[in-house]
Structure formats: structure tokens, C-alpha cells
Amino acid sequence: MYFQLNDGLNVYYEVLSCTDNPDAEWIIWLNGLTQSTLSWKLTTPYFEKTHNQVLVDFIFQGQSDAGTTFRTFEQHAQDIFYLTEHLNLEKIHIAGISYGGAVALRFMHHFPEKIKSSILISTFAYKTSYFEAIGELWKNCLLIGGYKHLIDAILPFGLGSSYFENPIIPIEILKNNRLNQMLKPENILALMKATEISENYLPTITNNPTKTLIIHGEEDILCPVQFGKDIQKVLPNSQLVVIPKAGHTLNLEVVPQLANHIHHFIKE
């Protein structure tokens, strides 16, 4: 389905209704940088009997439109707010991974009245020099070698070392699945711009009272556990979970564990 924003751009979204209770609470899942609604297909079945769910592609992602200029994390959050208004959702659980988690942080700050709880997965509130170096590597791979070379560069940072030793889906199949999506380099560059210009968001969210679950993989080298610890320090109503033998892409690497932690947190 599509929802048209005030600027005329269309946001693609999917609604997955709870099979056992149409009045169940709502979860909105927000994608990582090169992900789309498809990236949550392993996760959503764990919630189909307990929650209504919304999958959404940001502008420049998946089946959503591409704008003429990049969008900041704040603007993405505003788009999600408009979507919740369109769907008449009063209180939601917002769950974002990596890039989507950065958007969820902005949503927490600007629209706290909309949130029942926040789930921040493998995300960041600030950047280190190492994080920025990885971003520069990805950008150069995309500019010089195109989308295929970006995939080659992303996978070692996006997946934990344990995954390479015992992959759920073989690496070559993962690469081919990504290639079949044929993401446009200009759209990825537009998304990257939001990260490039973002500044330390920890002071902004300090003392935000939102009930928050922060989840990181023990082997995540892109957004290491320290990122999660630093977010937890400034959020008084938060808890941190570290999943062993997992990297950055938790909605692929450790789906049952991820779903279990979220279920337990939401029920509290």
C-alpha cells in the first residue's frame, strides 16, 4: 500500500493484522540502510498472533519514492509520524535497526506521545572515526564499483564472524538476493547523507522517559556494544541486551533470540 506525504512523495507500507486479536498493540518496524520491508519477513511471524504490525520503506528505500533531495533522520521520523496519523495509530512500539534505529531515536524525541515503547537494534546515537571510515569505504565502493561492490564491502561489517562460520543462509545466496533487489546507487547515497550530516544525539535524548530496549550483537563492529551502553546511560527507563555470537544484522542472524527479547520486553 502507498501513503502520499504532503510533498507528494509516496511511502510504501504493509499492514500485518494480528491473527488472534484485531485490537492488539502495534509494532512499526524500521529498516536498515540497504534493507526494505522484506528484511523483516523472518521476524514478523513471531508476532503475528500477538501484535498488529506495520512494515515501511523510508523515502529512497524499497518501493517508496525517491525525492529530489536527501532526507535527514528527523524528516524520516516526521514521515513515520504522518503514516501513524494516516493509520489512526495512537500508541505504538517502534522498532528500528541501525539506520532505522537512528530514525526511532528522533521519533522518540519529537513524538513521545505516540510511543508505548522503543526498541533500538544495532544502532547509533553518535559517530566514531572508525564508524565514519566504514561509511566512507561504503560510499567509495558504491561510487567506484557500483552496488555489487557495496554488497561485498557491507557483508563483513554487517554480519558477525560467527555467521560466516555457520551461516543460516549461505553468503553467496545472500549476495545474489541482494543483487536481485537492484538498489539504485543514487538512492543509497541519498540515504547515506543523513548519517554523514548527523551529529551526536545523546545530549538531545538525555533523560527521555520512553521505555526502551537496546539490543546489540556481541560481534557488531559497525555499531559496537559500547554504542548501546552509551545510549542506555542517558535513558533512565532503558535496558540493554547483548546477544552472544551475533553481529550487526540481528534480523537475519539471530531472529528467534531477537524476537524473544522483544516479546519479553513488551510484556513487562
What pLDDT was estimated at residue 177? 84
Q: What is the spatial distance between Cα 264 and Cα 261, in angstroms, rounded to a whole number? A: 5
Q: Is 146 left (phi over 0), alpha (psi -120 to 50) or beta?
A: left
Q: Which domains does the chain have, with CATH numbers?
A: 2-267 (3.40.50.1820)
Mean pLDDT of the chain: 96
Query: How many other C-beta atoms are found inside a 10 Å radius of the C-beta of residue 171?
Result: 13
What pLDDT was estimated at residue 157? 95
Q: Is the pTM of this model over 0.85?
A: yes
Q: What is the pLDDT of residues 126-168, one digit of tens each?
A: 999 999 999 999 999 999 999 889 999 999 999 999 999 999 8
Q: Above 90 in pLDDT, residue 178?
A: no
Q: Above 90 in pLDDT, residue 205?
A: yes
Task: Give CA torsion, residues 152, 161, 33, 51, to 10 deg.
Answer: 140
Q: What is the pLDDT of residues 69-78, one digit of tens each?
A: 999 999 999 9
Q: Mean pLDDT throughout 98-102?
A: 98
Q: What is the spatial distance between Cα 35 and Cα 23, in angstroms, rounded to a whole number? A: 29
What pLDDT was estimated at residue 180? 77
More confident site: 180 or 51: 51
